[in-house]
Structure 1
């Protein structure tokens, strides 16, 4: 018979008594991690803004740009699992710092690109450098928060994506206009240089600020450490902990997660890498104006991500909290395709698309971390993120190819909508008991 202490009510009471402790942990690590992600995402997707000048200056076709933008994710794919395994062994503090400093240097190097080959090589190397950051942070959060508290936390962390859009798009547009041909450099060259500097500085700060786990946190007393560690250890019970790569590959649940994530990432990078181009296509002139209008959908995404993330944690339900935003994103992409020549309707449609697709990613990670823990989580999270992020290669390349083929953006938007429907169906194929925690 189940005792009162193990009922859902008992757990809720116990959880509420620890809210203050988890708020302490949250405010210690989450603002810093979110800042890191804002910088990471800005350096990853600012190439989409650079395209407004870079493609014309260097003679890049839409297909060339799409291929180069996507090659980032081939490097990402190859080094992601090894990177997460190394982080699990050497510790998050040193490894995350290494990632940030390396990608900052490579991002600045884009200012020297003169041809497609150099563009391809640097995008590939940037993917290698940054490969372990995102899955490393997802793994890192499992060291501090049990699974039923994680959707809200990951949603806050991933708010870095829309924040990067809100701040980064106008900033990129301003830099490109204000610094154009200063010192003999084009605006896009200045943009790559200036936006790379924070990554190196924050990378150095990571060594000084971040703790590897609960046990190494000097800002927690022994009682607080014991309470947090008991939650983490209890959360890991009953989850898969075998960490061999073969065991992960044979797990059908992992492959289902790969399909779901691949579908959602198709929408995410289709939106973030092509947003400036889509806004410009509505008739907007001026890089700063494009940046300001591009910020609106990201503002809507922040609201949706955090409201839906809180709802998912409160209700302890994951599947429908994923399916509904995915379908919202699909409707938004269709609207953007149908009203491509109307700026107001296009921005409204892109806002719906952004609210949907950017909400999917943080909620998605509550699924695999509900049945993976420890070293298995290190390998499993990286494997899922590696395969899923191949969509980051496929999405921009296909959109660029389809635009060259059809001379419009509509076909690419319809393709993204279909992929979000596929992800929704795959999400409903998961077993409720496996993910509703």
Structure 2
């Protein structure tokens, strides 16, 4: 199969030093922002089994709805927010988003009932809208295509590490809150909200919108990065012609990528929101008992191998050039593994299978996000990335709500997990169809999309 991105080529000293500096000076900070972002939106998953569901008298369906309604607000403003970032610059817009969601996240500390929880989750989605696609676009504007799998992998490491670090951290905050005489889950919400506000303020001064503004790059490095990115942009516009907003919405390949992303996000958030609850159920299922901190550690376990899988799988994609199987294999592995986690005979076997699923999902995602900018540029890239993320995140609403509703209906999580596996399998099938798409007639919108994605 042919690559969708160039294979590794000999690099000049200036190129090596420029990419290294971006990887060291820029990516960790944006990854920290993503870490806080993902921790804040999934904190409800840690709160649920640690007193919130009981204190607010939530059923599984109500918890699922409250978890998922976040994405309604998120989806409504996703594309406009990313276009605003393209217009006003990442420094201002990403900082604004962080401070906004930090303030809303802080209010969860005082939520009193299901209705208030739903309203705050919706507003949190509104506040966070545009952050993730904005971060992807921002990094794409700093790094040429040949290096994007590596850079996006380093950025994406923040997501599994959010659970590796965040789950035990959330448990510590819950325990500390109880020691202070506060409901532990409320203190946890307080503890994860404040960093968003502080880092958002720092981001306004730390981030730069383009390489030419970065004083930590030498003049030669600025010239090389600016030149390489400008050459790439002109080539994309000349050969693909996708620089207008409407081009993104007219592209069949953009919509196909959106549905592929839907399947992966369906699996990701089913794990993120319900894994703590599944672990809570080990006591009834296997006769085991864990304290709050132990449950936090167990929740983190699957994401440790996921972080390693993400890094090395993306490293292979950078070395070989991204190929269809870098996305298709993880889709099918995740589809086959996740339903069987509930049929394991012990907590160890259950967590092992979930670790395989998490590894599969996270291996695919950073490689997936190198695809849109291969045939979109300018405002179309901003709109296309946001559109893909918007449609994909419909799963953010449907996955927790449908999982909770079907679990209430059937009395178990078996059928919901098979549904998750089905959506992930569908992502793999659609990617295979794209990879085998024949060239469309010359002059059509999708002509270059097929060339860019065909394997």
Indicate if the aligned counterparts of 2:21 and 2:217 stay in contact, CA closer than 8 A: no
Shift of 1:248: 2.0
Q: 1:241 to 1:76 in 2, by over 3 A?
A: farther
Q: Indicate if the aligned counterparts of 2:243 and 2:376 stay in contact, CA closer than 8 A.
A: no
Q: Which residues of structure 1 form unaligned runs of 5+? A: 1-7
Query: Match for residue 252 of structure 2?
Result: 252
Residue 308 of structure 2 is aligned to residue 311 of structure 1: no
Number of the residue aligned with 1:4: none
Aligned pair partner of 1:223 in 217, 220, 223: 220
| Structure 1 partner of 2:70 | 72
Task: Give the whole-Å Cα distance in 1 for the aligned partners of 2:33 and 2:110.
Answer: 25
Count, aligned residues: 427
CA contact (8 A) 1:163 1:302 kept: yes
In the TM superposition, residue 387 of structure 1 has moved relative to its aligned partner by 0.9
Alpha-carbon distance between aligned partners in 1 of 2:421 and 2:132, rounded to the nearest angstrom: 25
Residue 178 (structure 1) shift: 2.9
Q: Deviations over 1:2-47 (max 9, x none)?
A: xxxxxx79x8124676222211121110111111111111001010
The corresponding residue for 2:325 is 320
TM-score, scaled to structure 1: 0.94
Secondary structure of the equivalent of 1:145?
coil
1:36 aligns with 2:40: no
Q: 1:354 aligns with which of 335, 348, 358?
A: 358
Is the aligned partner of 1:270 residue 2:267?
A: no
Matched, 1:429 2:433: yes
Partner SS state of residue 58, structure 2 = coil
CA distance in 1, matches of 2:68, 2:112: 18
Contact kept in structure 1, 2:331 and 2:361, CA below 8 Å: yes
How big is the shift at 1:181? 6.7
Q: In the alignment, which of 284, 300, 304 is matched to residue 299 of structure 1? A: 304
- Which is further off, 166-175 or 122-131? 166-175
Task: For residues 69-103 of structure 1, give each alpha carbon's deviation from its aligned partner in whole angstroms, at most 9, with x where no partner exists.
Answer: 00111111011111111111111111111111111
1:417 corresponds to 2:421 = yes
Which of 385, 391, 394 is residue 389 of structure 2 equivalent to?
A: 385
Aligned mates of 1:419, 1:224 — CA distance in 2: 44
Question: What residue number does 1:142 align with?
Answer: 140
Gaps of 5+ in 2: 1-5, 284-288, 437-450
What is the CA deviation profile of residues 204-231 of structure 1, one whole-angstrom value per residue up to 9, with x for unaligned ones?
Answer: 1111211111121122233211111121
Summarize the alignment of residues 123-142 of structure 1 with structure 2, pairs less than 5 Å apart: 123-142=121-140
Corresponding residue for 2:445?
none
- Contact 1:269–1:396 (Cα < 8 Å) also in 2: yes
* 1:337 aligned onto 2:342: yes
Give the aligned partner of residue 117 of structure 1: 115
Residue 71 (structure 2) pairs with residue 85 (structure 1): no
CA RMSD across the alignment: 1.8
Using the alignment, how far apart are the partners of 2:241 and 2:77 within structure 1?
A: 22
* Pairing partner for 1:48 from 45, 48, 65: 45
TM-score (norm 2): 0.90
